């Protein structure tokens, strides 16, 4: 949807939501990021501006799984009144008269996600502040995992631990640079032979890493964002995921928080403190995260090269497909 068309749709939407026929819309923009379809806009009524973000599913896909924006609404509503920083949903629905699809609207926050591509902005922040940012992130994650998952039963029953490994098989078959995934069968077998037997189950974010953590200008964590991959299952998946993004041994060259933010062992220690108990089989979850991201990279690289989802970042990330799988292999006892 082009921005002019969207602006035309937003005007009657805002007037209906505000119950004010004089409400106007301006500053409609495409929001940055590699996932989802988000648009910022300003709604004005009675001379007062409200800055908002509209989230829509991608075009020409079935509205299920990651494209089901109302699943995100379910978890965001479940987080209201908890200690997990998030954006509360202002409007949501599946009335197609507005945008021809389901939607939700949240307030626009003042600040930004932790952007590490250029690195200058964050390296100019003190090491003490960066460590405090990591502690806030891992405390928020532990608080998420402590919630009764029945608060968000709409997300479905818990995913079996074995499915966390096998559900990536179909992406391997479609990935670009298949030679870079040569270790997949070996790592897959090792993980299936060591399935955790007793680990915490609850609400997991699914993509808990720096670019989905929104900090205020003073580096206070004010929201965990982008809940497309949320679900019910092994919560330690989230810990393994962010640990992988902070693990120098998993990447070819600088990537994510490697060399800047607290490193993998530090992040795990922060989570353990916030969780209040030891973490069973954390190495397995770190291995799983590295395994998954190698496969995800190959799949998204295929989409990019075929012109289905243009995103050149995957050409750079491709260099880490082999190191990620090697790290996964080495983490498994």
pLDDT in tens, 139-155: 999 999 999 999 998 89
Residues 175 and 296 in one domain: yes
Structure tokens at 233: 């299952």
Contact 259, 248 (CB under 8 A): yes
User: What is the average pLDDT value for the chain, to the nearest integer?
Assistant: 92
What is the C-alpha separation between 132 and 126, in angstroms, rounded? 10
Structural domains of the chain, count: 2
Q: Which of 78, 107, 136 is the last residue of a domain?
A: 107
Whether residue 120 has pLDDT greater than 90: no
Contact 116, 130 (CB under 8 A): no
Average pLDDT over residues 45-69: 85
At 25, is the pLDDT very low, low, confident or very high (cuts 50, 70, 90)? very high
Residues 326 and 211 in one domain: yes
What is the C-alpha separation between 226 and 76, in angstroms, rounded? 10
Residues 151 and 263 in one domain: yes
Q: Which of 107, 137, 154 is the last residue of a domain?
A: 107
What is the C-alpha separation between 199 and 111, in angstroms, rounded? 35
Report pLDDT for 134: 97
SS3 8: helix
Beta bridge pairs of residue 49: 44
Residues 137 and 269 in one domain: yes
Q: Which of 69, 92, 107 is the last residue of a domain?
A: 107
* CATH number (domain holding residue 85): 3.30.200.20
What is the C-alpha separation between 32 and 39, in angstroms, rounded? 9
Dihedral of CA atoms 67, 70, 74, 80 in degrees, nearest 10, equals: 110
The domain in which residue 89 lies consists of 3-107
Average pLDDT over residues 254-266: 83
Residues 217 and 150 in one domain: yes
Residues 75 and 92 in one domain: yes
Beta bridge pairs of residue 39: 30, 54
SS3 203: strand
Residues 236 and 118 in one domain: yes
Residues 19 and 151 in one domain: no
Q: What is the tens place of the pLDDT at every residue in 299-332?
A: 999 999 999 888 898 999 999 999 999 999 999 9
Residues 175 and 200 in one domain: yes
Token pair 């019910």: residue: 232
């Amino acid at each position: 949807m082009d921005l002019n068309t969207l602006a035309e749709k937003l005007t009657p939407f805002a007037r209906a939501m505000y119950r004010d026929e004089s409400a106007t819309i301006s500053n409609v923009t495409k929001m940055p990021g590699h996932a989802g379809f988000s648009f910022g806009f300003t709604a004005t009524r009675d001379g007062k501006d409200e800055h908002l973000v509209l989230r829509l599913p991608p075009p020409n896909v079935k509205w299920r799984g990651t494209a089901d924006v109302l699943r995100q609404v379910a978890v965001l509503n479940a987080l209201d009144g908890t200690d997990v920083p998030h954006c509360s949903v202002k409007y949501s629905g599946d009335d197609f008269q507005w945008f021809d699809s389901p939607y939700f609207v949240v307030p626009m926050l003042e600040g930004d996600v932790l952007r590490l591509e250029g690195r200058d902005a964050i390296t100019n922040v003190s090491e003490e502040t960066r460590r405090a940012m990591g502690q806030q992130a891992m405390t928020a994650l532990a608080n998420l995992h402590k919630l009764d998952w029945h608060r968000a039963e709409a997300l479905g029953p818990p995913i079996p631990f074995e499915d966390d490994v096998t559900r990536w098989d179909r992406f391997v078959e479609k990935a670009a640079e298949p030679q870079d995934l040569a270790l997949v069968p070996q790592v897959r077998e090792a993980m299936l032979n060591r399935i955790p037997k007793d680990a915490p189950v609850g609400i997991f974010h699914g993509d808990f890493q720096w670019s989905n953590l929104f900090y205020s200008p003073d580096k206070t964590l004010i929201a965990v964002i982008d809940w497309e991959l949320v679900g019910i299952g092994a919560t330690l998946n989230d810990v393994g995921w962010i640990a992988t993004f902070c693990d120098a041994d998993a990447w070819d060259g600088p990537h994510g928080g490697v060399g800047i933010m607290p490193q993998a062992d530090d992040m795990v220690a922060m989570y353990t403190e916030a969780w209040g108990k030891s973490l069973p089989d954390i190495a397995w979850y770190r291995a799983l995260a590295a395994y998954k991201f190698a496969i995800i990279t190959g799949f998204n690289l295929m989409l990019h090269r075929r012109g289905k989802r243009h995103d050149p970042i995957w050409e750079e990330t491709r260099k880490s497909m082999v190191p990620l799988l090697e790290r996964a292999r080495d983490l498994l006892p």
